[in-house]
Structure 1
């Protein structure tokens, strides 16, 4: 039985077999689908899990409430990894009321043909379960239009263990935020489910990768959501992926605040495409020059080898980006085209940008990269682009070194 605080339980599941989240993002450590149960005069479930995991999910619920009926299920987010069990849940609990907003129900009718037994809420509405009161905060486009969060306040929210009581001395007044996908991260939960009971080191970069690839485009809506929550002292954040945050609540909110404002450290991402190693050698020269000029945070990626989600993650972390690729079929190397298209969809702001390219007989890569920046990326251009014919020579080596120094100087400013 996984009790977070008195009468509030974790009933989620782990998926250790899926290799790509949403068919796109690698899951080297799996992922959790988190759901929560409030056992009060009225029983309330907060979110569900992906339908393939319905049986263990149901077992988790029954471990807490036995044969008691569930009165409400709150749907904070309609993505099927969280709403996928709704239709089956209704079969086991036919009188359950589904709580959501108008946009939730529009999607629910399309996904699951569920159109009755609905309890519609608007921003700021409340629902009493007895000792627990739920308040609903609509957070559209974090990261779907129907998304919302649910605050739970109660004098019943008492901590049951000495360890947790020490960590939070005023636990009887605890406020829990059921945040949907916000504040979530990749990675299954290995036994423990509250942050203070585990080593969280593996989750921090996976939180950034999760945010940058899934939520990252919607920085302004995230900022609006944070402003709605600004006056609330949150003691626990219960996301739909990753740990329950308690010790690290301030850190987690700070990460989302920083990422959604597109703030970045003075570091450099260098990514390149290469067929026979010439463009890669140029990238090495640029990296060495930038390091000698004082840039300590430098990461390098071959766009054909590293999944782009990690490159996008690091562009949210670091302010500088230099890309390079060969000309291919009188255009730009395919994987670089794909990466630049992905970056253009993220609306990342305030980045410094340099580029280089190579060709054997027809120059195109450098002009194509510049076109991407002029028309779609709109990053601040740094230094002089380097164009390499066939292989590096003393002149183009010097130009690569100059590009690395120029980026270093720009980052220092």
Structure 2
């Protein structure tokens, strides 16, 4: 992709990665690819905001050369040091030898640990401003959204926010802007992105948006570091982030389970019927056959999370354990939960699942339901009632 002018004299100079299918190791499945967004501001001080993954440094440099010789770059703003955003830094600096590098205090520490070289760093904090000429950049620290070094950069004269990993999506596309893409797809990927990356930091998300509002920053374009640029409806993604951050839910439940000989699955299907009888939308996932990222995306706006497993070796099946480890790490907000499962000669799965559900910050609202071997008709009725009772707790 060639450089794209997003505002007069401001260009997207990033790269589109059509082929990537795993991110953060194997924990995030990027089924629609991604972009690495970098932005070039042409002013008295030529400024590059964010960079790209090291594998795409030549693409970024070629895009910059369409506008200006990289050696003429005066400032480099590193909003976040994670290598998908800063990996191209050492190569860029071979060209922009005299460029000054702006980052947060934690950002400088991380850059020194990643790239070791003797670069000209200037530490900035919330409220600091640098003059580019006709434009200024104001900085807003955003620690733990989603690394300690993270910060936002804001061009006041353009009402343009560069929030790095906030408001992004993993989505490869030929269109750089929201109004050049299918909005349903964009919001689906934005929700998936939030659920699997930013959900543990929901309280910080809300506070940061409230801080930006209090600072009086007018925003008519949001240019994140992954996915599309919000130019027609930036308020839409801000509103969604507030809803997700506050843990607002719909009348919805998610059942995530695994089973050896289908007894736990039979229980799950009867529990769904009970939930549905109370008008609760329910999503059913067999964990061993599902993408955990999809499950987490549905959990984001669900009120109830039910987790189930048959017992093996006095505990849950391995895929359920992996799922719960992810759930504990992501710590969904304001959820209720319960557990159920079948067992043979010994129990264990339900008790261990309940412990991990509590570790994830989810409130257990009903004692776990356990059935020995194969559920009878009477057992399945009990499962139905189990679902119905939980359904009555969901508004």
Q: TM-score with structure 2 length normalisation?
A: 0.95
Q: 1:205-249 deviations in whole A, cap 9, x for unaligned?
A: 211111121111112221221122112220100000011002221
Paired residues, number: 390
Residue 257 in 1 paired to residue 257 in 2?
A: no
Are the counterparts in 2 of residues 382 and 406 from structure 1 also a CA contact under 8 Å? no
Residue 49 in 1 paired to residue 52 in 2?
A: yes
Query: Counterpart in 1 of 2:377?
Result: 394
Are the counterparts in 2 of residues 385 and 403 from structure 1 also a CA contact under 8 Å? no
CA pair 299-67 structure 1, distance change in 2 beyond 3 A: closer
Residue 89 in 1 paired to residue 74 in 2?
A: no
Residue 114 in 1 paired to residue 114 in 2?
A: no
Residue 309 in 1 paired to residue 311 in 2?
A: no
Q: CA deviation at 1:384?
A: 4.3
Residue 292 in 1 paired to residue 277 in 2?
A: yes
- In 1: Cα distance, 2:265 partner to 2:186 partner: 31
The SS at the match of 1:211 is helix
Q: CA deviation at 1:51?
A: 0.4
- In 2: Cα distance, 1:243 partner to 1:67 partner: 24
- In 1: Cα distance, 2:133 partner to 2:266 partner: 67
Are the counterparts in 2 of residues 208 and 313 from structure 1 also a CA contact under 8 Å? yes
CA pair 287-107 structure 1, distance change in 2 beyond 3 A: same
Are the counterparts in 2 of residues 42 and 130 from structure 1 also a CA contact under 8 Å? yes
Where do 5+ consecutive residues of structure 2 fail to align?
Answer: none
Query: Counterpart in 2 of 1:168?
Result: none
Q: 1:72-131 deviations in whole A, cap 9, x for unaligned?
A: 110000000001111001101111111112211111111001343112212111111111
The SS at the match of 2:139 is strand
Are the counterparts in 2 of residues 279 and 324 from structure 1 also a CA contact under 8 Å? yes
Where do 5+ consecutive residues of structure 1 fail to align?
Answer: 155-173
- In 2: Cα distance, 1:112 partner to 1:328 partner: 47
Residue 20 in 1 paired to residue 12 in 2?
A: no
The SS at the match of 2:320 is helix
Residue 206 in 1 paired to residue 189 in 2?
A: yes
Q: CA deviation at 1:385?
A: 2.5
The SS at the match of 1:239 is coil
- In 2: Cα distance, 1:305 partner to 1:197 partner: 34
The SS at the match of 2:338 is strand
- In 1: Cα distance, 2:98 partner to 2:362 partner: 54
Query: Counterpart in 2 of 1:360?
Result: 344
Query: Counterpart in 2 of 1:171?
Result: none
Residue 6 in 1 paired to residue 2 in 2?
A: no
- In 1: Cα distance, 2:354 partner to 2:103 partner: 46
Q: CA deviation at 1:329?
A: 1.4
Alignment partner of 1:79 out of 82, 96, 99: 82
Q: 1:283-339 deviations in whole A, cap 9, x for unaligned?
A: 1111122112211x2111011111212111211121111111100112111111222
Query: Counterpart in 1 of 2:201?
Result: 218
Are the counterparts in 2 of residues 384 and 403 from structure 1 also a CA contact under 8 Å? no
- In 1: Cα distance, 2:144 partner to 2:70 partner: 37
Alignment partner of 1:104 out of 91, 102, 107: 107
- In 1: Cα distance, 2:51 partner to 2:40 partner: 10
Query: Following TM superposition, where does structure 1 have runs of at least 4 consecutive aligned residues deviating by more than 4 angstroms?
Result: none
- In 2: Cα distance, 1:98 partner to 1:18 partner: 29
What CA RMSD, in Å, does the superposition of the two structures yield over aligned residues?
A: 1.4
Residue 228 in 1 paired to residue 211 in 2?
A: yes
Moved more, 319-328 or 382-391: 382-391
Q: CA deviation at 1:201?
A: 1.8
Q: CA deviation at 1:187?
A: 1.1
Are the counterparts in 2 of residues 386 and 396 from structure 1 also a CA contact under 8 Å? no
The SS at the match of 2:247 is coil
- In 2: Cα distance, 1:273 partner to 1:61 partner: 50
CA pair 198-97 structure 1, distance change in 2 beyond 3 A: same
Q: CA deviation at 1:254?
A: 1.0
Q: CA deviation at 1:182?
A: 0.5
